[in-house]
Amino acid sequence: MMEIIPAIDLIGGQCVRLTEGDFAQQTTYDSNPLEVAKRFEAHGIKRLHLVDLDGARARKPVNLAVLEKIAANTSLTIDFGGGLQSEEALKQAFEAGASQITAGSIAVREPETVKNWLQQYGADKIIVGADFKGANIAISAWTEESDYALQDFISDYVQTGAKLFICTDVSKDGKLQGPSTETYRQLRQTLPAAALIASGGVTTVKDLEELQEIGVHGAIIGKAIYEGTITLKDLERFLC
C-alpha cells in the first residue's frame, strides 16, 4: 500500500501553506498544529511530514517545540525537515521526537555530510529531499535552481545507500493542479530501487489512485486537505 502522508508546514508556530515555495504567497490555516495532527491521527493517519519553513530560511531549526509537542501527544511517525544543516541540528530533531529527518538543500550542497548521516543513522532514518523544478533540483527553500538533474541526483544517492526520497515538484506545490505523475512514472522505471514519495500538486482522490498505480512509496498531501479537495474521510480507504 502507498503511504498517505499529510503535511504540516510551520511559520511562527502556525500551520501554513505556501504556493510554489514563495513566502510572499502564504496562507495560514490553523494556529494550533497539534490539533491538526490529532485530527489526522483520529482518521487513521500514521505518518506526518512536518516542515519548519522558518528553519529553512534561518538554516537552523526554529520550530522544534512544535515537533516536540506533536511527538509527545500523538503516536504519529514524524519526518521533520527545514534548516537541518548540521549534526547538532539533526540530533536536536531526533531528540525532539522526529522518527526521520528530511535532508533538503544540504543533500545538494554537502553530499558527503548526508552520506555520513546515512551511514551513521541508517537509510530508514534519513530521507533525501529531491525538490525539483523542471528537470533539475531546486534548493534554498526552493529559491534557487541548481544544474543538478533530478534523475542523476537520485541515482547518485541510491548508489551510496539512500533509499527514501521525497520528490517535490516546486512548480506545482500549493497550486492544486495535479502532481507530476509522468515524472514519477519515469523515475520508477529507471530507478526501481528508489522509494519515491510524491509531493506537490496532489489535488484529488484520482491523483492518489494514479500515484498508487505507478507504485510510488508514498504521497504527501498538503493544501488539498486544508482546502477540502481531498477529505480525511477520503483518505481512510488508502490506509492499511
- The residues carrying an active-site annotation are 9, 131
Q: Do residues 78 and 125 touch, judged by C-beta distance below 8 A?
A: no
Rounded to 10°, the helix 205-214/181-190 angle is 10
Name every residue whose Cβ is closer than 8 Å to that of residue 153 and which is 6 or more positions away in sequence. Answer: 108, 130, 137
- In whole angstroms, give the CA distance from residue 115 to residue 122: 10
Of 181, 226, 182, 235, the C-alpha closest to 205 is 235
**Which cell goes with 96?**
525532539
Beta strands 136-139 and 132-133: pairing type? antiparallel
